[in-house]
Structure formats: C-alpha cells, structure tokens
C-alpha cells in the first residue's frame, strides 16, 4: 500500500514542490522518501514508477499481491497508476 502527498509549489522562492511517499507491505514500512522536485512541472509520476518497481520486487520474492493500492490526491498520478497497473 502506498501513501503519497505533495506540497505543490511549496517553496515560495523557486515554486518547486516536495513529494512525500510511504509504502508498506503487510502493515510494515518498506520504503519512504521525501524529495524536492528538480523541475517545476514534475508531478507524483515518479511515485507511480516506484510502485511498479515495488510490485515487481514483491512478486519476485514470491509474495502474493493483487497490486499496489496508491492513496493520493493527484488526478494525474491516479490516471497513470490505473493505466500502468
């Protein structure tokens, strides 16, 4: 399960956002990050890629999962996650 949030244009100086994400497996934290975006126009799409990578890793470990639930409020991230999963 993944949880994502961002403070869009939170830095008043350069208008860049910070993305925060946490992924859990069976209720345990397995991955987290807080990162300032390198470009103004980036969204939470990097998180979608991380979710896909983690889903592949979990599958390689032999753990049965139906996919990754991604909780966020970004319509573009939700759209891409649905297209890629």
- Taking each helix axis from N to C end, the angle separating 75-84 and 45-60, rounded to the nearest 10 degrees, works out to 30
Q: What is the DSSP letter of 11?
A: -
d(CA 8, CA 35): 12
The H or E element that residue 46 is part of is: helix 45-60
For residue 50, what pLDDT is reported? 80
For residue 58, what pLDDT is reported? 85
For residue 54, what pLDDT is reported? 83
- pTM of the entire predicted model: 0.66
Please give the average pLDDT of every successive group of 10 residues along the chain, which has 85 residues.
Answer: 78 74 90 78 64 84 80 71 62
Indicate the number of domains in the chain.
1
Expressed as residue numbers, the domain containing 74 is 2-84
């Amino acid at each position: 399960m993944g949880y994502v949030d961002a403070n869009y244009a939170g830095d008043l100086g350069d208008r860049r956002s910070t993305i925060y994400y946490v992924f859990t497996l069976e209720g345990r934290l397995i991955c987290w990050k807080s990162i300032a975006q390198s470009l103004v126009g980036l969204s939470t799409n990097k998180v979608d890629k991380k979710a896909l990578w983690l889903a592949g890793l979990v599958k390689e470990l032999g753990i049965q999962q139906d996919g990754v639930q991604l909780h966020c409020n970004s319509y573009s991230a939700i759209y891409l996650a649905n297209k890629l999963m």
